Amino acid sequence: MKLWCSPYQLKLKHADATRRGALIKIELPDAGVGYADLHPSIELGDLSVEQQLSLFRQRQQTPQLQQSIYFAQLDAGARNSKKSLFEGLKIPKSHFLVLAVDQFTRDDFEKATTNGFESFKFKLGRDLKLELDALVKISEFTRTTTKLRFDFNNKLTQGVFHEFWRALPVALQQKVEFVEDPFIYNEFDWLRADQVVPLALDKDLGVHLNSERGYSVAVIKPAKENVEVVLPKIKNLEVKYLFTSYLDHPVGQFFAALSASQCPADFRRLDNGLITQNVFEKNEYIERIKSQGPWLEPQGDIGIGFGDLLEKESWMPIYEN
């Protein structure tokens, strides 16, 4: 196998922040060329692209790089067969993602609901006072049927989380579908908090699925988790679940969508988190993405799509065996 990478940057619209990753390209003797994404979140504890590729040269793989290579192999097989990976599949429904809660307006909400969105996910935990004030305002124009999701990325302590929750108006609390990663997981404290509001586990999902509980929802990120391993465990636990992308490159976004599309729908699967392109400044890849409200549309190309753009990337050789 041969491996190349092409580093990239994605600029967030409502923050002075850039997310970095690398597209990867593999060549297999029997299947040709395939592509995928490697997008670590350093702030969540992932190793950098450079560290992960250095380990790969030493014949070691992180779970994230292992997933990337797996997806690239799928892509290579589909491109070799001149077929789309989405052939016969439909990408399931997603929530509306909000990174800057204080900038989310009534007009934004009305436009999103008119387009078919029913669930709204807010990234929180940077400035609780500002976010609390913004959420109170948002509660005034959301509907009784609106489902709200809060994601703290483990930024809070247990005590601060409970204080935050008690400060929310009851009418707003009743619209919250779940709270994702409010504070670092431990079974006892999460069991207590899960009695107050349904909690969703994302961070280290695969580790805690083996025996521990204290959550009502499992968040599957195919960029890091082997779906064939975690999904049967989730279904055995009888918790609800959803698939999300990793705020990554459109190539990674569509592999998350592929994983969700391949999973048969059941009553425990919630609206997914697959529409993330709108939080970034546009580039050639993002301009290719089409969606009908909460439904992402597959690329009209073989493999995962984006073939002509991927071929134009500047590829740096990493490994050959």
Task: Kindly compute the dihedral angle of the four CA atoms of residues 38, 42, 46, 50, in this order, to the nearest 10 degrees.
Answer: 60
Residue type, 260: A
* 136-174 pLDDT, tens digit each: 999 999 999 999 999 999 999 999 999 999 999 999 999
For the chain, domains (ranges, CATH) are 2-84+304-315 (3.30.390.10), 96-296 (3.20.20.120)
pLDDT of 211 over the 80 cut: no
Backbone angles phi, psi at 266, to 5 degrees: -145, 175
Q: Is 40 helix (H, G, I), strand (E, B) or coil?
A: coil
* 54-95 pLDDT, tens digit each: 999 999 999 999 999 999 999 999 999 999 999 999 999 999
pLDDT at res. 210: 80
* 84-135 pLDDT, tens digit each: 999 999 999 999 999 999 999 999 999 999 999 999 999 999 999 999 999 9
296 with 258: CB under 8 angstroms?
no
pLDDT at res. 17: 87
Reported as a pLDDT band with limits 50, 70 and 90, residue 16 is confident
pLDDT at res. 251: 98
Task: Please state the pTM of the whole predicted model.
Answer: 0.96
Reported as a pLDDT band with limits 50, 70 and 90, residue 5 is very high
Identify which of 92, 213, 208, 197 has the alpha carbon closest to the alpha carbon of residue 149. Answer: 197
For 208-238, b/e burial (b = at least 16 CB within 10 A) is bbeebebbbbbbbbbbbbebeebbeebeebe
How many Cα atoms sit within 13 Å of 39 on the Cβ side?
A: 23
pLDDT of 212 over the 80 cut: no
* 266-315 pLDDT, tens digit each: 889 999 999 999 999 999 999 999 999 999 999 999 999 999 999 999 99
pLDDT of 10 over the 80 cut: yes
pLDDT at res. 110: 97
